Amino acid sequence: MEISLIVPVYNVEPYLRRCLDSVLAQTFTGFEVILVDDGSTDASGRICDEYAEKDARFRVIHKQNGGVSSARNEGIQASRGRYLAFLDSDDELEPDAFAVFAALPAEYDLAVCGSKWIATDGRTHSRTFSQKAYAALNSQALCEMLREKVVDCVWGKRFRLSTIREHSILFDEKFDLGEDTLFVCRFLACCGNAYISRQTPYRYHQNSGTLSGFDERYVERLCSARNAMRECLRERFPEAVSSPLWEKQTFGVYHYAIACIRQEKRPFRQKYRMLKRIYRQVGFRRYMRSPETYLPNSNPVYRMALSRKSPLWLLLLDKGVKMKNAVHNKRREEGEQ
């Protein structure tokens, strides 16, 4: 068995057939699929059983709901292939995805491919990486991989299963954000080499509800996972996890959260409370001592508002921009009449 594909499944009835049909359409046949139904309450579990009945390469594990990390761990334990791959149940594979994985150089413990990103309106763009072979991994190699953001997720990757088994690498079920990147970091801390491909066999669907899971503890949860990543990489890649690049990407966690809060349609007081929670964090205050380092190309007024002790300045800036745009739009409409 060449490839074991793990598909965690939880209440994805509208997308699941599309996902599994893309697996059935593979031109390479030496694979198995482990569908882990994580206590779905819709028809997802029955759909999994249906595919297992018509194709012996599909196996189904039904379990109580425990989260995506728990589901993936069940799949890892049940895998029998030479390599391991992951597919999210609302995404797809190109028909030659497994053929691409199988054709990548066999001597590499980790192989990484790019992906095609599909927006809700159907528009597609490719996320490709620079082709590179790392015969040995060191801090310089890791920095290059971090810069290209090849570490960010588990899908689109081929993992050597024997390395996972030898080092008991599993998903940390304490984390529900950043758990996939943490898994990749743990694998990198143990594996011997890595290969980056320019090919894009994975089809990632961007859901409209990306921010629906955003809550007031988002930053704490993601920063906790980020700290765990640093700790697992520190011994082998000390220069990488203390580099300006690592610090800038860690700051990106805060900056992304702030951008999400500003964009969401929430009451002013709730936005203030959520932003205040971020502003109080020691890590964020440390970055804001020199905002020009982490936001060199941003508007100086925005940097000034962001670096104040209170998020009130930032929210007032947003209100001012909205009022200015409203006046501009009104004048334009009057001019067209």
- Write out pLDDT tens, residues 300-325: 888 888 888 889 999 988 888 778 78
Under 8 Å between Cβ of 157 and 97 = no
Structure tokens at 274: 């959520």
- When comparing pLDDT for 322 and 3, which is higher? 3
Give the integer Cα–Cα distance in Å for 311 and 233.
Answer: 33
Q: pTM (2 decimals)? A: 0.88
| DSSP-derived 3-state class of residue 14 | helix
Under 8 Å between Cβ of 182 and 152 = no
- Write out pLDDT tens, residues 178-222: 999 999 999 999 999 999 999 999 999 987 543 445 666 888 888
pLDDT at 320: 85
Give the integer Cα–Cα distance in Å for 258 and 249.
Answer: 14
Instruction: Please check whether the domain covering 3-205 is classified as CATH 3.60.9.10.
Output: no
Domain ranges within the chain, ordered by starting residue: 3-205, 218-336
Under 8 Å between Cβ of 120 and 45 = no
Under 8 Å between Cβ of 28 and 1 = no
